[in-house]
């Protein structure tokens, strides 16, 4: 596991980031259509070769997530694209899930698939040069009933199975439980869902014996929905997000990838100074303590008003004193 920990540490080196170049054929088609480029294998190879030959790329990029087609491709001069990355000191990675599919018995929710044959695919990717992998679970928020605990548990179990198989193959897994920002939910609702999802994920990871030092967590920010009326400002988002991580992520998880790039840039920037202050071990100010108390109180109010207490706990508690059982007729000491 020492090699996995070293790779994980390199991927989150200060001043560097991970480039996602794992667009599927259908996704990259939309990008090519926007600029009038035909979507064929040659153009896709040329596009990625252009990225990977950028001079000085290794100064700012620690790793690149590749697609199944890309990790097998070669440059115009016959050099494997993976070698172009390693020559610049960039670690190649691979996306191994096959996408989110409708969840059985809950069609409004999804589960990420790709576990079938994953052990064999990981062994092949390892031979092709992959040193880390990525799996994305999608959790959407819709009203008070979605996501269901069923959906969170199924996706968490799949993430843990993937992570265990990746470490078995000598590959660092990036665990990504993404809570989508689509919808009109409040930041309190997003916080509640994010905490539940992260705690369930790490419960499953521990059950599957995943080494926390040899993995990366790629969480999402705690945000108001894109269609919410009163969206929380950047400073509030930063505090909710950090409080969520501190209360959900085990202390043994020493490395985490940055929040998703789909979040607004000013929101992501607000997290950085707060992360530095927390990392230095400084005591929270009175305003920070007040903000944290507000987050906790708001979350408790939501749980109380939404009546999310399990049914078995809502039922009235039985009295400890058992009722006296009715006794039968007194028996005679002497036989009849």
Task: List the one residue out of 58, 47, 56 whose CA is nearest residue 81.
Answer: 47
CA atoms of 18 and 36, how far apart (whole Å): 28
- Count CB neighbours of 6 within 10 A: 12
| SS3 call for 169 | coil
Contact criterion met (CB below 8 Å) for 223 and 187: yes
Task: List the one residue out of 98, 261, 296 whose CA is nearest residue 181.
Answer: 261
CA atoms of 274 and 277, how far apart (whole Å): 5
DSSP 210-256: --GGG-EE--------TT-SSPPPHHHHHHHHHHHHHHHS-TT---B
| Options 95, 178, 192, 218, the catalytic residue | 218
Structure tokens, 270: 């607000």
User: Token match 């170049």: residue?
Assistant: 21
Look at the alpha carbons of 277, 211, 92, 43 in this order and tell me if their dihedral is positive or negative.
negative
| Options 176, 235, 291, 324, the catalytic residue | 176
- Count CB neighbours of 62 within 10 A: 22
Residue 218 annotated to the active site? yes
Active site residues: 176, 218
């Amino acid at each position: 596991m020492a090699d996995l920990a070293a790779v994980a540490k390199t991927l989150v080196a200060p001043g560097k980031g991970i480039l996602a170049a794992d667009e599927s054929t259908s996704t990259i088609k939309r990008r090519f259509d926007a600029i009038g480029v035909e979507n064929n294998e040659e153009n896709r190879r040329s596009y990625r070769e252009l990225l990977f030959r950028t001079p000085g790329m290794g100064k700012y990029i620690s790793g690149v997530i590749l697609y199944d087609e890309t990790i097998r491709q070669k440059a115009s001069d016959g050099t494997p694209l993976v070698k172009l990355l390693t020559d610049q000191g960039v670690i190649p990675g691979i996306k191994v899930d096959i996408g989110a599919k409708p969840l059985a018995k809950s069609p409004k929710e999804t589960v990420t698939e790709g576990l079938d044959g994953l052990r064999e695919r990981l062994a092949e990717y390892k031979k092709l040069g992959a040193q880390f992998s990525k799996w994305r679970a999608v959790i959407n928020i819709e009203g008070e009933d979605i996501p269901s605990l069923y959906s969170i548990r199924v996706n968490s179990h799949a993430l843990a199975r993937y992570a265990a198989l990746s470490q078995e193959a000598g590959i660092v897994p990036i665990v990504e439980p993404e809570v989508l920002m689509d919808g009109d939910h409040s930041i309190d609702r997003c916080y509640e869902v994010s905490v539940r999802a992260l705690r369930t994920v790490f419960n499953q990871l521990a059950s599957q014996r995943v080494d926390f030092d040899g993995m990366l967590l790629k969480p999402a920010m705690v945000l108001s929905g894109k269609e919410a009326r009163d969206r929380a400002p950047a400073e509030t988002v930063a505090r909710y997000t950090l409080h969520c991580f501190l209360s959900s992520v085990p202390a043994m998880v020493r490395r985490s990838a940055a929040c998703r790039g789909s979040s607004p840039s000013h929101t992501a920037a607000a997290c950085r100074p707060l992360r530095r202050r927390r990392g230095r071990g400084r005591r929270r100010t009175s305003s920070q303590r007040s903000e944290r108390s507000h987050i906790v109180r708001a979350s408790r109010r939501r749980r109380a008003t939404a009546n999310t207490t399990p049914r078995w706990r809502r039922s009235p508690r039985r009295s400890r004193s058992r009722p006296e059982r009715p006794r039968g007729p007194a028996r005679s000491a002497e036989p009849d």
